[in-house]
Chains A and B, each alone.
Chain A
Amino acid sequence: MRRATAELIVKDPGKFAHHDRVFLNNPVVMQGMGLAPLVVLATSGQNAVMLAAAVALLLVPSRVLACLLSRLVPLYDEDPAPETLQKKLLPRALVYGFSTAVVYLAVYPILNMLFGTSLLSLGIYLPMLTVEPLLTYRFGRVQETVRKAVSKGLRITVGYALLLVLLGCIREWLAAGTVFGMAVSRPVLPMAGMPAGGFIVLGVLCAVWRALAAKRRAYLTKEAGNLVDVHSQKEADREG
């Protein structure tokens, strides 16, 4: 661990964890975003890969476009006054919704070229991605810069795709006994292939993920504290 990182963790562990959208602050596990496709469609590894590709192609471009357009109605405060919200929330929501729908126009032919008729198995959940909070939640938040939109968008994409593929493989194994179509065992829990099973398996996965994230956070905080102490001791020795 670098000294600068260790100092950042010691100074504000919450802020450090907040930046990590893959593990410590995964958008699904910590904020419950993008649940509908996970619960209904992430029933196999292949579906999960198609959804992950769709999110990867949609998220960053739509977020950048919305970020640029929403400068016309910017929100400057983290907790804006009710009058400001009344005036700006709807225009910002429409900007984010239309941006994603416009980007979808370009993304759909690419997905069609990549996956062909398999894309039909995603049904209504592919067009529905355009209003998922995962892609549009920024409309109610403070105005971000383009650089932040790209960097956060990429990290969220990685975090979401990782969870999608993990859940898809677990559910495929539980429901059909296969992973990406290859036989692994006999079906363990056929219910995992249904939305009800999706809710339950995702709930358990979130709990395990949260417990591991809490352990990792405690470990990082302890390690960073030790590292900062060692560096302080070395500096004191040098001065002495």
Chain B
Amino acid sequence: MKDVVTTSAVFFNYALLAVFAQNAVFTRALGVSRLVQLVGDDRTSSWLFGMQLCITQILVTPFAWYAGSRIAPLANRAQLRPLVYFASIAVVCLLEHAVLWMAKGLPHRSALLRIVPLAGLNSCVLGTVLVERTQSFTLGQSFGFGLGSGLGYVLAVLLVTEARHRLRSKAIPEAFRGLPITLVYVGVLALAIYGFTGHSVIL
């Protein structure tokens, strides 16, 4: 019983850490290129994208953790990392694609099939896996951090898409409209988060 409580506590602590103190977007800018594209993309739902990213993030964790521990003793591990971790992401994407392909009656199935590769080929997913390895997280810690990282990304996506209409305001100088003001806005949000948690990013 004590082990279950301890494991759950570790899981939630790491999830909270990843949502706020080490938010993927605000502290490490992970997946920010996709985020700014998502803001201007009316075809892709932010909610669906965020949900798909969270699912991918969690499912990748065990594959990447196992693959990472297999290459850890090798001398050329730094060289192999992207290939090995991308292979883990590819396995998860293929699994998700197969499940969605078979679930014919699923709502938003068509949109989700289009989102799977966008969510998989995202620096938030690969970046989180790399952070878990460089900080030598256990499997439980990695699961918590993976979930928190996905939720943190969703939080950032929602905060930015929520402000989308205001960021397009005519009151903003023309040169700043679109990408520049979105970047400034994310920067100000990041500063607000540092106000609560402080800032020290571990690369």
Binding site for B on A (CB under 8 A): 29-36, 39-40, 82, 85-86, 89-90, 92-94, 96-98, 100-102, 104-105, 108-109, 121-125, 127-128, 130-134, 136, 139-140, 191, 194-200, 202-204, 206-208, 210-211, 214
Bound state CA distance, A29 and B175, in angstroms? 11
Q: By the criterion CB–CB under 8 Å, are B181 and A199 in contact?
A: no
8 A-B pairs with CB atoms under 8 Å apart are A32-B33, A86-B113, A90-B93, A101-B82, A127-B85, A131-B125, A203-B180, A210-B175
Residues 175-187 of chain B, each 1 if its beta carbon lies under 8 Å from chain A, else 0: 1100111111011
Which among A92, A124, A198, A200 has the greatest number of chain B C-beta atoms within 10 A?
A124
Bound state CA distance, A182 and B180, in angstroms? 30
Bound state CA distance, A94 and B91, in angstroms? 10
Contacts A32-B36, A82-B114 known; A203 to B187 CB distance under 8 Å? yes
Q: By the criterion CB–CB under 8 Å, are B183 and A196 in contact?
A: no
Chain A nearest Cβ from B36, distance in angstroms: 4
Which among B30, B83, B90, B94 has the greatest number of chain A C-beta atoms within 10 A?
B83
How many residue pairs link A and B with beta carbons under 8 A? The number is: 176
Contacts A98-B86, A100-B82, A133-B37 known; A208 to B175 CB distance under 8 Å? yes
Question: Which residues of B lie under 8 Å from residue A123 when comparing CB positions?
Answer: 134, 203
In the assembled complex, B29 has its CB within 8 A of some CB on chain A: yes
Interface of A, helix, strand, loop or mixed by DSSP: helix
Bound state CA distance, A212 and B83, in angstroms? 40
Question: Which residues of A lie under 8 Å from residue B130 when comparing CB positions?
Answer: 124, 127-128
Q: By the criterion CB–CB under 8 Å, are A128 and B187 in contact?
A: no
Q: By the criterion CB–CB under 8 Å, are A127 and B81 in contact?
A: yes
Q: By the criterion CB–CB under 8 Å, are B188 and A200 in contact?
A: yes
Which among A31, A40, A134 has the greatest number of chain B C-beta atoms within 10 A?
A40
Question: Which residues of B lie under 8 Å from residue A109 when comparing CB positions?
Answer: 79
Chain B nearest Cβ from A54, distance in angstroms: 12
Bound state CA distance, A102 and B130, in angstroms? 17
Bound state CA distance, A197 and B169, in angstroms? 23
In the assembled complex, B146 has its CB within 8 A of some CB on chain A: no
Question: Which residues of A lie under 8 Å from residue B116 when comparing CB positions?
Answer: 89-90
Bound state CA distance, A206 and B29, in angstroms? 17
